């Protein structure tokens, strides 16, 4: 292009700003100490966060135009109403653990930081907790343990917001006994709709404290508040949630140690036991039979590289150990980890251990391994942060709530696909080991995450190693095509991705066109699309900008599924 | 073409019924609800027919009132604004029993008396409400939010995925059975997860909807391995409130499968074989309140499983409630401990008058939710209302069902009456309405609001809920064809 | 002029005080909140869960290390101007306590502490720092060789009459500005301990400022000059061991001097010890007797300089390779070998002392709020942090007194405590126990 032509080209339009008048009104709502538009402070909300490499191309990480910190639901309501009136898009976050979940599309967004709303009320006797969004699982669980109660602690660790994460999934290994589905644990929510109305659901309708049950006086509405922090934050803001909590055991778990050696010393009524099984078949059969016997508090399969991560040290230490692991070793590694909790008594725990011995050892040929009686990653903390240790980035390419055989079939096929070209050059080599999985709901649901670790520098456009063709596109193809193809083939539901990591327009038809319903409900509750503006449809727009990550195989798989499915007569 | 004729082209002439006998039979049920008027009963045989019927309803704007049970107690399946009764009881196939995933897929018309014996024969059970009428639909009972007698939270809400036809005529499946080629081709998924598809947990909308959003055609329910041995325990108290703290402590320690609290009236109606004399003896001799707790052992080391529970139970009773005993037998009723586990696995036997009707023929039940520590608030409230209506407090049945290890409970007050006596029926109607109002004022939570007296009261208070749920209703049932006049619709 | 595209620096890294070395840190925060909360296994409930006083006080994410990573990314890529007003508070309302650093290193290898120290150095280079309060300290040091601008000749005025430092000894007591001029009771207690243990020691009559506040406020050139001078001074004095009673002085000489000079701690030419390390050894081998009863219920506060910031420094040079691995591999300082037990063992050895622990202890300790120039530039924040720590002590332990190992901690706690909880330095308690 000639210099003359460059000069005459129009400059790109300046990004929209938050009007000064609107900012003043926001200031009046929360007070000057609780609002800022300083670009440095705002930039603090534009972190890389979990999974940035998977989402950067969506333009999901942009500095907000201002940050406002309400302390009450009424303030949240006023803020939202103001944004609605001015048509200013807004988003919200509470603990900001996964920044992408509160990410933005444009620099005129208002970021509603809910971290100062961190109240908690626990009804010990009736076993429920009423929480505000700024409270983390670790806060809740550490309070509950004092009352001989406990709650799930998600795989993501003790630091996500309980309210936000329960809307997302609310999953952790304790879902084995504590229902796979968080909407069935909720007793009620206080919801600021995308238009700013405060609506109470469940027994919040009656009382702010006696919020003990989640069945509404008619059709239940709590299922609406699910999915990637409630529709990836596009369906308003929850300012309170009441959740059931669960009976635990009375003996204290005392923390000890420094840094990487920190762990809870387990009392006799809490016990881990690891077993090595002779085959994966023996492991899965053990798992199902244990579940049928309704024993244990949690059980999961432990992949080899998790053990190496958990052995401490840094990234170099991990690689030093991992490079010595052979494919044969991985192929022969079938570790089942069982958690026992003496909910009823020590006698009950001892009984369960005997039954486990009967099943895992005597029946399926397992060997009990020496197991440390400490816990560093289940009750309060989670070492999942260690998942970043191998490569600096990982992606749960799939998070599934499916029946056991569907999960195992999907896992095995995803491992197979990940080892085919070009993916075999993209992901760190896990030697084709089975992915981790853990039964929920006493074995009816087999939760799993397929974790694949690419070199994030090669996926990052800000890095000189950025390699879109060799790394980013295969990664995205795996995420947007290989994984959904496999899910659809075996019939798995993917609660993690649908619509927000993957394209709902492409995948929706394979699941009864649910996306048409969600589009309608979004339009109903947010007709101006102000709540996280544009995000509901964003993935579908962007995915077309990154060809060729949608494969013909995916399209054909969807077509075949639809052809076999329901036809109106 | 007339509606009936159009319906006949969908389901066949034999499945469109409008004789006076049929109309009379479907216009009322065992509740106090007034008789409804409607055009006909239509009996589809599969989900496609259900869809075509609902689409027709949208086109022609007639109401559709789905029902799938053979016995109804709360009036919600009586048409209130005309239309047709969509009787799904003919869709009664047990589609599969999957003992790997511990689920059964059943059509909406499958009843307890059909499903449970088949499961028991295979060594399984579906958790079940307290002695339901055998002709109650399994799927409907769970959609209605009946509470299982097995109160452990792992067994709660057994209904997982389901197929339904929305009020707008669209077919849909909830949960992990929602993959379009479910059960076909390469699909391995069994439908064991209730969430989704997509970000929303659609099944939550359908529970408690009383057929106002969709007609469910099949559902997947959890089944459980049958205990191989059982031991029943009885705790007798003079007052309900004295039973509450023991229940809290016992269930918190995860002891027992079945657990419920019942008063002498209800227990007597259940146990009586020879009416009326035995009933009179039992109600006089049975303890005022009985907590029934059933311990169970499964396949591995069942005796040890019973033993640790029993030891813990004894420790609780000894340490905290020295004046009470968890007995192995029920005073005054020989060998009840042997009968109870089997009774609680099954619906009421079909060759016997249903227990709620055995005393006087009719029973108006007042059902609501609360927490165990609030139970004692409601008893004097109900007693006072009963007295005002000259209804003997000694005739009020009461059953308290703890839920999910004591998180909450369902309270049921039963007012027995002679349904043939119009004046008495009217008095009970008034008593029921006043009692509902009184407990509501005291904090009762109506997650199952039946009858206009209750719904009017409830929705007047929960205006926000009404406004919000209607915003969903207009998508699921834009023409308001599904069971209009029910709930707040 | 068009913004030049940012090119990350992968070779010639030293992970010293050059902010450009930390692009990986800025870009790879995973938002796990390990920098905000103490390790969750140490949670005891809703309260006392913060590890970072700055984000607790400042509230916005920018005040936590995760937010700072995002900000630093924008700074080094030129997307934010260095003169932005919000930057000063974000960068300097922080005690550089190392809490975020060890929190991050629970699972990752990101050098957050060094990134934050380097940020201040860069801000000074860019001319947007030091802050006036910190410049005043530098001026005092330039003119009077101490942070207060006081007459150096008064430096040893606190020395008890019955204590005679040796002219030459292998042990040099490095007193520090604070204990020399303000918290002199600490210096007095220390020399009492040394005397009771029969340990000959030297002092430097006009001991220069260590440069602790120069280094921690980003004035690296001045700090480096002082480091060079002071290392030479110590060596010239013939000291084999430098003993400090001030945790900040201790970590400055042991860790920051090698860092500034590009060498290892082991290459200093002398050992650096805190008085508690030595006294603990003396008590255990019988050299020091703690026979006096001190009836008091106390809780011990782990001063950052003695705890997680005190691990020896190892100089490194290398590159960043695939998967973000350093070549050659590095020793990661995670705060696991800080001086945590000697002060505790000493307290437990004193008859009558009942030691109770706060939830946030050892490497999880909550900073007093005073260090790295925060007290001077943001006194409200410093007071907030100290008040919060005292609240923790009072609420969770029921202790009568909080005991620290640093005059800065002591002074900040005293200012916050007013007439409430008693505040001691650990040397004072030990000294009380000496017959």
Mean pLDDT of C190-200: 98
Q: What average pLDDT is seen over chain A?
A: 88
Residue of chain B whose Cα is closest to the Cα of A342: B253
Instruction: Answer whether residue A546 shows pLDDT above 70.
Output: no
Q: Please, what's the b/e burial string for C137-168 (b: 16 or more CB within 10 A of its CB; e: otherwise)? A: bbebbeeebbbeebebeebbebbeeeeebeee
Closest chain C C-alpha to A149 CA, distance in angstroms: 13
Number of helical H runs and strand E runs in chain A: 20, 21
C-alpha to C-alpha distance for B180 and A513, rounded to whole angstroms: 9
Which helix (DSSP H) or strand (DSSP E) does residue A281 occupy? helix A280-292
Mutating which of C40, C84, C110 best tests the A interface, going by the most A Cβ atoms within 10 A?
C40
Answer yes or no: are the C-beta atoms of B364 and B417 closer than 8 Å: yes
Within 8 A of A139 by CB-CB distance, chain C residues are 43, 45-46, 49
Mean pLDDT of C309-317: 98
Answer yes or no: are the C-beta atoms of B363 and B437 closer than 8 Å: no
Closest chain A C-alpha to C313 CA, distance in angstroms: 17
Which residue is associated with the tokens 């950052």?
C304
Mutating which of C25, C37, C41 best tests the A interface, going by the most A Cβ atoms within 10 A?
C41
For residue range A254-282, list pLDDT tens digits in order. Answer: 999 999 999 999 999 999 999 999 999 99
Please answer yes or no on whether C59 and A115 come within 8 Å at the CB atom.
Answer: yes
- Which of C28, C105, C322 has its CB closest to that of A259? C105
Domains in chain A: boundaries: 20-113, 120-247, 254-378, 390-569
Q: What is the pLDDT confidence band of residue A60, given thresholds at 50, 70 and 90?
A: low
Provide Rg for chain A, Cα atoms.
24
For residue range C98-133, list pLDDT tens digits in order. Answer: 999 999 999 888 999 999 999 999 999 999 999 999
Residue of chain A whose Cα is closest to the Cα of B371: A126
**Among 3.30.70.3450, 3.40.50.300, 3.40.630.30, 3.90.470.10, what is the CATH number of A254-378?**
3.30.70.3450
Which residue is associated with the tokens 């006596």?
B421
Domains in chain B: boundaries: 94-225, 229-441
Long-range contacts of the stretch A15-22 (C-beta < 8 A, 24+): A15/A106, A15/A107, A15/A108, A16/A106, A16/A107, A16/A108, A17/A65, A17/A108, A18/A65, A18/A66, A18/A88, A18/A108, A18/A110, A19/A86, A19/A88, A22/A82, A22/A83, A22/A86, A22/A88
Given this model, what pLDDT does residue C404 score?
A: 97
The contacts of residue B170 (CB under 8 Å, 6+ apart) are none
- CATH assignment of B229-441? 3.40.462.10
Chains that touch B (3 or more CB pairs under 8 A): A
Mean pLDDT of C248-275: 98
Please answer yes or no on whether A441 and B301 come within 8 Å at the CB atom.
Answer: no
The contacts of residue C221 (CB under 8 Å, 6+ apart) are none
Nearest to A51 by CA among C29, B292, B94, C2: C29
Answer yes or no: are the C-beta atoms of A500 and A568 closer than 8 Å: no
For residue range C73-92, list pLDDT tens digits in order. Answer: 999 999 999 999 999 999 99
Residue of chain B whose Cα is closest to the Cα of A345: B312
Mean pLDDT of B241-250: 98
**Which of A107-111, B189-193, B281-285, C227-231 is predicted least confidently?**
A107-111
Instruction: Answer whether residue C49 shows pLDDT above 70.
Output: yes
Chains B and A touch (3+ CB pairs under 8 A): yes
For residue range C285-311, list pLDDT tens digits in order. Answer: 999 999 999 999 999 999 999 999 999
C-alpha to C-alpha distance for A226 and A98, rounded to whole angstroms: 16
Given this model, what pLDDT does residue C418 score?
A: 77
Within 289-348 of A, beta carbons closer than 8 Å to C belong to 314-317, 319-320
Mean pLDDT of B38-61: 98
Phi, psi of C160 (to 5 degrees): -65, 150
Please answer yes or no on whether C30 and A116 come within 8 Å at the CB atom.
Answer: no
For residue range A203-223, list pLDDT tens digits in order. Answer: 999 999 999 999 999 999 999
Q: At what angle do helices C85-92 and C65-76 cross, to 10 degrees?
A: 130
User: What's the pTM?
Assistant: 0.96
Please answer yes or no on whether A40 and C340 come within 8 Å at the CB atom.
Answer: no
Q: What is the pLDDT confidence band of residue A228, given thresholds at 50, 70 and 90?
A: low
Class of domain A120-247: alpha beta
Answer yes or no: are the C-beta atoms of B275 and B361 closer than 8 Å: no
Residue ranges with strand state E in B357-422:
362-370, 396-403, 408-417
CB of A43 within 8 Å of any CB in chain C? yes
State percent of chain A over pLDDT 90. 61
Please answer yes or no on whether C33 and A95 come within 8 Å at the CB atom.
Answer: yes
Q: What are chain C's domains?
A: 19-125 (1.10.1060)
CB of A228 within 8 Å of any CB in chain B? yes
Within 367-396 of B, beta carbons closer than 8 Å to A belong to 369-373
C-alpha to C-alpha distance for A77 and A198, rounded to whole angstroms: 7
Number of helical H runs and strand E runs in chain B: 16, 17
ipTM value for the complex = 0.96
- Which of C80, C107, C335 has its CB closest to that of A258? C335
For B69, counting Cβ atoms within 10 Å of its Cβ (0-12 exposed, 13-18 middle, 19+ buried), the class is buried
Closest chain A C-alpha to B208 CA, distance in angstroms: 5
Nearest to B404 by CA among B164, B220, B157, B190: B157
- Which of A44, A259, A381 has its CB closest to that of C70? A44
Q: What is the pLDDT confidence band of residue B265, given thresholds at 50, 70 and 90?
A: very high
Within 8 A of B212 by CB-CB distance, chain A residues are 218-219
**Which of A391-395, B356-360, C280-284 is predicted least confidently?**
A391-395
Within 8 A of A180 by CB-CB distance, chain B residues are 193-195
Q: How many beta-carbon pairs under 8 angstroms link A with B? A: 333
Within 8 A of A377 by CB-CB distance, chain C residues are none
CB of C31 within 8 Å of any CB in chain A? yes
Given this model, what pLDDT does residue A496 score?
A: 55
For residue range A128-138, list pLDDT tens digits in order. Answer: 999 999 999 99
Within 327-386 of A, beta carbons closer than 8 Å to B belong to 343-345, 347-348, 351, 354-355, 358-359
Q: A20-113 and A254-378 share one CATH topology?
A: no
CB of C1 within 8 Å of any CB in chain A? no
- Estimate to the nearest angstrom the gap between the alpha carbon of B204 and the chain centroid: 16
Which residue is associated with the tokens 């996306």?
A515
C-alpha to C-alpha distance for C257 and C251, rounded to whole angstroms: 9
CB of A402 within 8 Å of any CB in chain B? yes
Nearest to A230 by CA among A184, A179, A194: A194
Mean pLDDT of B396-409: 98
Closest chain A C-alpha to C32 CA, distance in angstroms: 5
- CATH assignment of A20-113? 3.30.43.10
Given this model, what pLDDT does residue A30 score?
A: 98
CB of B316 within 8 Å of any CB in chain A? no
Within 8 A of A43 by CB-CB distance, chain C residues are 62, 67, 70-71, 74, 79-80
For residue range A403-419, list pLDDT tens digits in order. Answer: 999 999 999 999 999 99
**Among 3.30.465.10, 1.10.3720.10, 1.25.40.10, 3.40.30.10, what is the CATH number of B94-225?**
3.30.465.10
Given this model, what pLDDT does residue A3 score?
A: 40
The torsion angle over the Cα atoms of residues B378, B380, B385 and B389, rounded to 10 degrees, is 140
Instruction: Answer whether residue A445 shows pLDDT above 60.
Output: yes
Q: What average pLDDT is seen over chain C?
A: 96
Mean pLDDT of C173-194: 98
Nearest to A476 by CA among A55, A59, A60, A101: A55
For A490, counting Cβ atoms within 10 Å of its Cβ (0-12 exposed, 13-18 middle, 19+ buried), the class is buried
Please answer yes or no on whether B199 and A498 come within 8 Å at the CB atom.
Answer: yes
Given this model, what pLDDT does residue A5 score?
A: 41
**Which of B117-131, B386-400, C18-32, C377-391 is predicted least confidently?**
C18-32
Given this model, what pLDDT does residue A265 score?
A: 98
Within 8 A of C108 by CB-CB distance, chain A residues are 315, 385, 388-389
């Amino acid at each position: 292009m000639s210099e003359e032509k460059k000069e005459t080209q129009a400059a790109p339009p300046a990004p929209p700003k938050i009007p000064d008048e609107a900012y003043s009104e926001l200031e009046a709502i929360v007070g000057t100490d609780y609002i800022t538009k300083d670009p440095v402070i705002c930039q603090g909300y534009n972190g890389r966060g979990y999974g940035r490499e998977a989402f950067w191309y969506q333009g999901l990480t942009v500095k907000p135009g201002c940050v406002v910190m309400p302390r009450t639901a009424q303030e949240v309501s006023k803020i939202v109403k103001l944004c609605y009136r001015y048509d200013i898009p807004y988003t919200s976050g509470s603990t900001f653990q996964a920044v992408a979940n509160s990410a933005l599309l444009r620099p005129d967004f208002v970021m509603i930081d809910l971290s100062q709303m961190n109240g908690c009320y626990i009804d010990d006797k009736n076993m429920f907790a009423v929480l505000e969004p700024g409270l983390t699982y670790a806060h809740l669980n550490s309070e509950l343990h004092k009352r001989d109660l406990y709650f799930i602690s998600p795989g993501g660790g003790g630091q996500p917001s309980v309210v936000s994460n329960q809307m997302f999934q609310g999953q952790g290994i304790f879902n084995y006994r504590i229902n796979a589905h968080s909407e069935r644990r909720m007793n009620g929510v206080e919801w600021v709709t995308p238009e700013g109305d405060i609506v109470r659901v469940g027994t919040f309708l009656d009382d702010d404290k006696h919020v003990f049950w989640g069945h509404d006086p008619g059709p239940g509405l709590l299922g609406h508040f699910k999915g990637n922090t409630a529709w990836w934050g596009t369906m308003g803001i929850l300012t309170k949630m009441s959740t059931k909590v669960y009976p635990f055991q009375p003996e204290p778990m005392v923390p000890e140690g420094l840094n990487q050696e920190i762990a809870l010393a387990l009392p006799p009524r809490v016990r881990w036991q690891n077993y090595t099984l002779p085959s994966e078949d023996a492991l899965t059969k053990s798992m199902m039979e244990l579940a049928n016997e309704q024993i244990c508090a949690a059980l999961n399969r432990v992949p080899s590289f998790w053990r190496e991560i958990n052995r401490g040290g840094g990234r170099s230490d991990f690689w030093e150990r991992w490079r010595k692991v052979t494919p044969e070793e991985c192929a022969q590694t079938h570790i089942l980890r069982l958690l026992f909790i003496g909910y009823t008594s020590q006698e009950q725990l001892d009984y369960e251990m005997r039954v486990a011995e009967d099943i895992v050892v005597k029946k399926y040929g397992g060997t009990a391994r020496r197991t440390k009686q400490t816990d560093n990653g289940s009750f309060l903390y989670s070492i999942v942060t260690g998942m970043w240790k191998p490569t600096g980035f990982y992606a749960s390419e799939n998070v599934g709530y499916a029946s056991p055989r569907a999960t195992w079939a999907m896992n095995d096929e995803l491992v197979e696909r990940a080892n085919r070209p070009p993916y075999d050059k993209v992901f760190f080599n896990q030697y084709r080991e089975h992915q981790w999985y853990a039964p929920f709901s006493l074995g009816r649901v087999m939760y799993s995450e397929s974790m694949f670790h690419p070199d994030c520098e090669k996926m990052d456009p800000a890095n000189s190693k950025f390699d879109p063709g060799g790394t980013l596109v295969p990664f995205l193809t795996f995420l947007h095509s290989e994984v959904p193809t496999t899910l659809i083939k075996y019939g798995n539901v993917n609660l993690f991705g649908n619509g927000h990591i993957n394209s709902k327009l492409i995948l929706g038809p394979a699941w009864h066109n649910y996306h048409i319903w969600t589009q309608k409900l979004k339009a109903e509750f947010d007709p101006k699309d102000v709540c996280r503006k544009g995000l509901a449809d964003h993935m579908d727009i962007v995915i077309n900008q990154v060809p060729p990550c949608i494969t013909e195989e995916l399209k054909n798989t969807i077509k075949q599924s639809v052809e076999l499915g329901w036809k109106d007569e | 073409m007339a509606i009936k004729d159009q319906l006949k082209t969908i389901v066949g002439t034999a499945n469109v019924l409008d004789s006076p006998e049929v109309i009379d039979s479907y216009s009322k049920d065992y509740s106090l609800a007034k008789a409804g008027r409607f055009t006909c009963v239509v009996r589809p045989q599969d989900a496609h027919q259900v869809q075509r019927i609902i689409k027709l309803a949208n086109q022609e704007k007639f109401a559709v009132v789905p029902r799938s049970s053979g016995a109804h107690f709360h009036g919600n399946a009586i048409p209130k604004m005309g239309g047709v009764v969509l009787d799904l009881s003919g869709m009664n196939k047990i589609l599969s029993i999957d003992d790997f995933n511990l689920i059964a897929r059943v059509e909406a018309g499958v009843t307890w008396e059909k499903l449970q014996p088949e499961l028991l024969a295979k060594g399984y059970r579906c958790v079940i409400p307290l002695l339901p009428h055998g002709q109650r639909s399994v799927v409907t009972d769970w959609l209605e939010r009946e509470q299982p007698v097995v109160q452990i939270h792992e067994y709660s809400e057994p209904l997982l995925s389901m197929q339904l036809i929305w009020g707008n005529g669209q077919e849909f499946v909830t949960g992990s059975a929602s993959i379009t080629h479910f059960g076909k081709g390469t699909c391995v998924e069994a439908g064991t997860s209730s969430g989704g598809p997509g970000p929303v947990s659609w099944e939550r909308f359908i529970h408690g909807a009383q057929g106002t959003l969709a007609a469910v055609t099949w559902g997947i329910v959890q089944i459980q391995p049958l205990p191989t041995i059982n031991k029943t325990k009885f705790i007798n108290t003079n007052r309900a409130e004295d039973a509450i703290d023991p229940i809290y402590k016992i269930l918190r320690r995860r002891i027992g499968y079945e657990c419920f609290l019942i008063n002498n009236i209800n227990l007597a109606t259940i146990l009586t074989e020879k009416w009326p004399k035995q009933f009179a003896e039992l109600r006089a001799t049975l303890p005022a309140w009985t907590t029934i707790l059933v311990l169970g052992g499964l396949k591995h080391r069942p005796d040890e499983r019973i033993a640790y529970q029993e030891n813990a139970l004894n420790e609780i009773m000894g340490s905290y409630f020295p004046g009470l005993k968890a007995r192995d037998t029920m005073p005054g009723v020989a060998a009840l401990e042997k009968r109870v586990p089997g009774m609680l696995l099954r619906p009421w036997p079909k060759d016997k008058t249903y227990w709620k009707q055995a005393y006087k023929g009719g029973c108006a039940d007042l059902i609501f939710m609360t927490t165990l520590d609030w139970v004692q608030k409601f008893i004097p409230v109900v007693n006072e209302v009963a007295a005002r209506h000259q209804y003997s407090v000694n005739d009020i049945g009461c059953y308290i069902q703890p839920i999910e290890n004591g998180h909450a409970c369902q309270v049921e007050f039963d007012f027995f009456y002679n349904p043939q006596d119009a004046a008495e029926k009217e008095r009970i109607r008034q008593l029921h309405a006043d009692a509902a109002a009184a407990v509501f004022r005291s904090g009762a939570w109506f997650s199952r609001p039946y009858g206009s007296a209750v719904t009017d009261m409830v929705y007047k208070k929960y205006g926000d809920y009404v406004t919000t749920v209607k915003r969903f209703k207009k998508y699921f049932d834009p023409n308001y064809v599904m069971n209009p006049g029910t709930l707040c619709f | 002029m068009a913004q030049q595209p940012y090119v990350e620096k992968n070779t010639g890294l030293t992970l010293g005080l050059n902010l450009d070395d930390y692009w990986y840190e800025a870009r790879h925060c995973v938002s796990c909140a390990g920098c905000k909360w103490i390790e969750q296994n140490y949670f005891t409930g809703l309260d006392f869960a913060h590890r970072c006083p700055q984000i607790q006080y400042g509230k916005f994410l920018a005040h936590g290390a995760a937010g700072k990573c995002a900000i630093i990314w924008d700074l080094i890529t030129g997307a934010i101007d260095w003169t932005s007003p919000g930057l000063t508070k974000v960068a300097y309302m922080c005690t550089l306590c190392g809490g975020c650093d060890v929190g991050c290193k629970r699972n990752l290898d990101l050098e957050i502490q060094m990134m934050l120290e380097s940020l201040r150095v860069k801000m000074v280079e860019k001319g947007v720092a030091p802050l006036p309060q910190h410049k005043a300290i530098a001026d005092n040091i330039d003119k009077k060789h101490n942070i207060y601008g006081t007459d150096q000749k008064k430096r040893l005025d606190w020395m008890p009459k019955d204590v005679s430092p040796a002219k030459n000894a292998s042990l040099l007591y490095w007193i520090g500005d604070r204990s020399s001029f303000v918290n002199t009771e600490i210096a007095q207690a220390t020399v009492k301990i040394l005397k009771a243990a029969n340990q000959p020691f030297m002092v430097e009559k006009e001991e220069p400022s260590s440069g602790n506040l120069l280094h921690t406020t980003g004035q690296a050139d001045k700090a480096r000059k002082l480091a060079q001078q002071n290392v030479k001074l110590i060596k010239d004095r013939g000291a084999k061991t430098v003993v400090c009673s001030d945790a900040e002085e201790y970590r400055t000489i042991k860790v920051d001097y090698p860092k500034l000079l590009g060498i290892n701690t082991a290459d200093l030419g002398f050992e650096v010890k805190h008085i508690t390390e030595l006294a603990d050894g003396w008590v255990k081998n019988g050299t020091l007797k703690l026979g006096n009863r001190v009836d008091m219920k106390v809780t011990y506060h782990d001063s950052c300089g003695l705890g997680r910031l005190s691990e020896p420094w190892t100089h490194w040079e290398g590159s960043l390779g695939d998967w973000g691995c350093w070549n050659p591999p590095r020793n990661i300082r995670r705060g696991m070998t800080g001086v945590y037990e000697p002060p505790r063992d000493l307290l437990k050895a004193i008859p009558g002392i009942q030691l109770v622990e706060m939830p946030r202890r050892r490497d999880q300790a909550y900073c007093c709020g005073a260090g790295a120039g925060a007290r001077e530039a943001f006194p409200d924040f410093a007071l907030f942090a100290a008040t919060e720590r005292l609240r923790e002590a009072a609420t969770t332990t029921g202790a009568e007194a909080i005991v620290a190992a640093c005059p800065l901690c002591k002074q900040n706690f005293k200012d916050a405590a007013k007439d409430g909880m008693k505040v001691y330095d650990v040397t004072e308690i030990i000294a009380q126990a000496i017959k």
